[in-house]
């Protein structure tokens, strides 16, 4: 594989947070992943394993505690470490990426159209008539043009996500990041959002990184998948690799990792994730206390 094929190279990424008492909580404990140009990569794993933290490190929102995050956008002559970029470099990078956060995160005091226009105003110097044209196009792409003058509080969950998508793609990004795009949506709306994401990724030829624990959704959109477990990469593979584990009989599995991945993908309540007796970590704590 040539360097050209890698959009983001994450090497031994570590991230700790300081607790109020001064001690540290290590959330990412050395994550190494390549995001390939044009692929849709799913980041999955149990609640609290570090998915959102990983995404926030990738987009430069968190200062990292160790390792490297090397970006190679079309504008860059050579891969560049996000931790070593100055404000000008960072701004340039921010123009090449689009982000849809866990909550959708529209500004409630602005109309849908103004929300979509915001990145255009922030990052470029085009005049109002151009902005209007781009906003119209982006809202058309997500079938939200009819709602352009509404306030976010008057939209359904699915409509908010669509508007968020229009905003995330406003600058025609090379790389799109999504945190839980289908969280809180019913299965039909969720499938429609997945389809829209895949459609946009193909049309715009974007590299897409999606954090999710919705397995139906993950298997619909993934090219490759990464499973995180307590701040480490448990497995990285193609969608087919994970489908094989999901559909296998756990009795035929030789490793604990495979059993754990199988349990996670199938949402089963007993297995190594919950231990042999079917107790969760929480239940074990309670019993140990009592
Ligand atoms: N800003 C922060 N300060 C301190 N601790 C944090 C911070 N952000 C996250 N954490 C801790 O890091 C761990 C991982 O959190 P993170 O939000 O990355 O999990 P997640 O995998 O996205 O979970 P979920 O599926 O519930 O969204 C948690 O223990 C959390 O409490
Ligand atoms: Mg999260």
**Is residue 108 within 8 Å of residue 153, measured between CB atoms?**
yes
User: How high is the pLDDT of residue 289?
Assistant: 46
Report whether residue 212 contacts ligand 1, using a CB cutoff of 6 Å.
no
Residues 6+ away with beta carbon under 8 Å from 26: 14, 15, 16, 231
106 and 189 co-located in one domain = yes
Give the ligand at the shortest distance from the Cα of 47. 1
Which among 29, 42, 50 is the best mutation to test ligand 1's pocket, defined by most ligand atoms within 8 Å of the CB? 50
**Ligand 2 centre and the CA of 46: distance in Å?**
9
104 and 179 co-located in one domain = yes
Q: Could you tell me the pTM of the whole model?
A: 0.88
Using a CB cutoff of 5 Å, list residues around ligand 2, an ion: 52
103 and 243 co-located in one domain = yes
243 and 264 co-located in one domain = no
Q: Kind and range of the H or E element at 69? A: strand 66-71
Q: Which CATH number is 69's domain given?
A: 3.40.50.300
User: How high is the pLDDT of residue 290?
Assistant: 37
178 and 283 co-located in one domain = no
User: How high is the pLDDT of residue 145?
Assistant: 95
182 and 252 co-located in one domain = no
Give the ligand at the shortest distance from the Cα of 54. 1
pLDDT string in tens for the chain (290-residue length): 554 599 999 999 999 999 999 999 999 999 999 999 999 999 999 889 999 999 999 999 999 999 999 999 888 888 899 988 888 888 889 889 998 876 667 899 999 999 999 989 987 767 888 899 999 999 998 899 999 999 999 998 889 989 999 999 998 999 999 988 887 788 888 888 888 888 888 787 899 999 987 888 889 999 999 999 999 999 999 999 999 999 999 888 889 999 999 999 998 666 776 654 445 555 555 445 43
Atom of ligand 1 nearest to the CA of 55: 18
What is residue 45's DSSP assignment? -
32, 51, 171, 200 from 72: Cα distances, Å: 16, 22, 18, 21
User: How high is the pLDDT of residue 276?
Assistant: 46
Report whether residue 15 contacts ligand 1, using a CB cutoff of 6 Å.
no
38, 77, 153, 207, 212 from 6: Cα distances, Å: 9, 13, 39, 10, 22
Report whether residue 51 contacts ligand 1, using a CB cutoff of 6 Å.
yes
156 and 38 co-located in one domain = yes
95 and 16 co-located in one domain = yes
What is residue 275's DSSP assignment? B
Give the span between the Cα atoms of 285 and 279, in whole angstroms.
Answer: 10
Which residue range forms the structural domain that includes residue 108?
3-247
Give the span between the Cα atoms of 165 and 193, in whole angstroms.
Answer: 9
**Is residue 66 within 8 Å of residue 14, measured between CB atoms?**
yes
Give the span between the Cα atoms of 190 and 5, in whole angstroms.
Answer: 30
51 and 171 co-located in one domain = yes
Q: How many domains does the chain have?
A: 2
35 and 130 co-located in one domain = yes
Chain centroid to Cα 142, Å, comes to 19
Residue 275, phi then psi, degrees to nearest 5:
75, 170
227 and 253 co-located in one domain = no
Atom of ligand 1 nearest to the CA of 18: 4
Which among 15, 20, 27, 42 is the best mutation to test ligand 1's pocket, defined by most ligand atoms within 8 Å of the CB? 27
Q: Whose CA is nearest to atom 8 of ligand 1?
A: 53
270 and 212 co-located in one domain = no
């Amino acid at each position: 594989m040539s360097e050209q094929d890698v959009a983001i190279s994450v090497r031994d990424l570590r991230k700790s947070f300081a607790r109020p008492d001064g001690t540290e909580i290590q959330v990412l404990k050395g994550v190494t992943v390549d995001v390939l140009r044009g692929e849709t990569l799913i980041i999955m794993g149990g609640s609290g394993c570090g998915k959102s933290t990983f995404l926030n490190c990738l987009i430069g929102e968190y200062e990292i505690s160790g390792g490297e995050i090397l970006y190679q956008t079309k504008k860059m002559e050579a891969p560049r470490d996000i931790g070593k970029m100055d404000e000008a470099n960072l701004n340039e990078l921010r123009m090449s990426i689009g982000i849809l956060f866990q909550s959708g995160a529209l500004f409630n005091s602005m109309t849908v159209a103004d929300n979509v226009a915001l990145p255009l105003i922030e990052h470029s110097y085009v005049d109002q008539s151009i902005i209007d044209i781009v906003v119209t196009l982006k809202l058309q792409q997500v079938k939200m043009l009819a709602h352009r003058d509404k306030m976010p509080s008057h939209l359904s969950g699915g409509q908010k996500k669509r508007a968020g998508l229009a905003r995330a793609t406003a600058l025609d990004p090379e790389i799109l990041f999504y945190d839980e795009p289908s969280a809180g949506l019913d299965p039909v709306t969720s499938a429609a959002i997945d389809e829209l994401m895949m459609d946009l990724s193909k049309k715009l030829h974007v590299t897409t990184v999606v954090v999710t624990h919705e397995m139906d959704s993950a298997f619909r959109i993934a090219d490759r998948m990464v499973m995180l477990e307590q701040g480490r990469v448990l497995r990285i593979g193609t969608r087919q690799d994970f489908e094989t584990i999901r559909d296998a009989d756990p009795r035929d599995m030789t490793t604990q990792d495979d059993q754990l991945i199988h349990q996670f993908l199938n949402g089963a309540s007993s297995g190594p994730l919950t231990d042999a007796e079917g107790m969760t970590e929480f239940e074990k704590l309670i019993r140990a206390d009592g």
